[in-house]
Structures are given as C-alpha cells and as structure tokens.
Amino acid sequence: DAGVIQSPRHEVTEMGQEVTLRCKPISGHDYLFWYRQTMMRGLELLIYFNNNVPIDDSGMPEDRFSAKMPNASFSTLKIQPSEPRDSAVYFCASSPLPLGKAEQYFGPGTRLTVT
C-alpha cells in the first residue's frame, strides 16, 4: 500500500482565497483524521471521521474550516476564506480500528502558506 496520500504537498495562497486540501486514506481503514501543526500550538486534532461520518469536529477552529468525506477513499479539508494565521502543516491520518487497538498512519502533510 502507498500509505496515506495527501495533496498538494505545498500550497501558497493569498488571504481571502479558498484552499482545498485532499487526502486519500489507506484502503480498508475506517477512521480518518485531520490534524494541524504549528510552532505555537503543536499538533492539534481538527476533526475525525468513522465510516465517512464526522464523529468529532470540536477541534475545527471556526466556520471558515469545513471537512468532508464523500467516500471511503477520499476526504477534503477546505478553508474559505483563508487567513495568514491558517498557515501551518496539515496532516491527514487513517486507522483501521479505534485508538488503543491500532495505530494511526499519518500522511506526509500539506504545508500551507497564506500571505
């Protein structure tokens, strides 16, 4: 398996623009997670899905952020409109089972820069 795939790897955009990050989880994994990492706040969980259904979105910072999982092999994280403080590395991870029973596999991340 190719592992968790994220695209793009780097994204530079101007403030106010819409940004869409994409993730393909490992086949057969029922859990998908979106994290954000910054120097100031470290690694934060934004939202996670189980069987394509959002389970916990309490980490989503505000309404400008939205995430979808239309099918088992694809998820998006959208920021509209983007702001400079959204600059961070965004990671997607997947797991076959609930935590404690299996590890999470992380993708390589998308480095987002909003100018």
Partner 1 sequence: DAKTTQPNSMESNEEEPVHLPCNHSTISGTDYIHWYRQLPSQGPEYVIHGLTSNVNNRMASLAIAEDRKSSTLILHRATLRDAAVYYCILSGNTGTASKLTFGTGTRLQVTL
The stretch near partner 1 (CB under 8 A) out of 15-23, 62-70, 77-85, 88-96 is 88-96
Looking at 26, 79, 86, 109, which residue binds partner 1 (CB under 8 A)? Answer: 109
Please, which residue, 65 or 90, has the CB nearer to partner 1?
Answer: 90
Three-state DSSP at 48 gives strand
Residue 29 has, within 13 A of its CA and on its CB side, a CA count of 29
Contact 67, 1 (CB under 8 A): no
CA dist list (Å): 37 to 27, 60, 102: 25, 13, 22
Report the distance separating Cα 8 and Cα 113, nearest Å: 12
Looking at 21, 29, 69, 107, which residue binds partner 1 (CB under 8 A)? Answer: 107
Q: Tell me the two tokens of residue 99.
A: 């935590």
Please, which residue, 42 or 70, has the CB nearer to partner 1?
Answer: 42
Question: Binding to partner 1 by residue 43, rule CB under 8 A?
Answer: yes
Looking at 7, 13, 50, 73, which residue binds partner 1 (CB under 8 A)? Answer: 50
Report the distance separating Cα 38 and Cα 104, nearest Å: 20
Question: Binding to partner 1 by residue 14, rule CB under 8 A?
Answer: no
Residues lying near partner 1 in the complex (CB under 8 A): 4, 31, 33, 42-45, 48, 50, 55-56, 91, 93, 95, 98-100, 103-109
